[in-house]
Amino acid sequence: MITRRTLLLTGTAGLSAAALSRFARAAPPLANDPVAIVNAVYARAAKGEGDGGGAFIIENKAARARYLSKALVALWAKADAHTPKGDVGPIDFDPVTNSQEPDVKSFSVTAEKLEADKAVIAVTIVGRGAPRKNPADNAIRYIFMRDDGQWKIDDISGASDGEPWSIRGMLTESLKS
């Protein structure tokens, strides 16, 4: 015969397991492979209408610590501290989609360089809307490095209207003004 206490404990354990399972799905652990990490980022960015973007990797300190190298996180924090109160920081766009308004229909990922402690991963994105005027604007590169045994993004680069940009470069440049 089931007592109230047994029923209550079983129900509580079940709810706890469901909550933990839901949490695990919301923030899956990062794979320790740069190609898998980039594929996961773009799979999430392309989800649904493809307009969610990839700002989730830089939206707050916890996200930055999860995806970015310690050196890039420190540089970003320094740039944020240098930004006048009320101003937008030096990164005012979604670097994952290289846009203000994310639009990702599909993507392809290529490992350009895979070494023991450094990797360069290139992504080409295709949007649902009109094609970009400059095809170079569809390519985004990720520089990965080993950071405490884990692969972390150390820079993101691309082009806007054919002009090259780099997150690390933009953050560094913002400290000069």
Same domain, 62 and 90: yes
Looking at the predicted structure, is the pLDDT value of residue 157 above 80? yes
Q: In what order do the strands lie in the sheet with 139-147?
A: 106-114, 118-126, 139-147, 150-160, 163-166
Please give the structure tokens belonging to residue 22: 């839901």
pLDDT per residue as tens digits for the range 26-61 = 444 456 799 999 999 999 999 988 788 999 999 999
Same domain, 16 and 83: no
Same domain, 38 and 9: no
User: Does 14 or 110 have the greater pLDDT score?
Assistant: 110
In 10 A of CB 26, how many CB atoms?
Answer: 7
The mean pLDDT of the chain is 85
In 10 A of CB 29, how many CB atoms?
Answer: 7
pTM exceeds 0.85: no
Same domain, 108 and 151: yes
Same domain, 5 and 90: no
How many independent structural domains does the chain possess? 2
At 37, give phi and psi (nearest 5°).
-65, -50
Residue 3: predicted pLDDT: 54
Residue 138 domain boundaries: 32-174
Give the CATH number for residue 65: 3.10.450
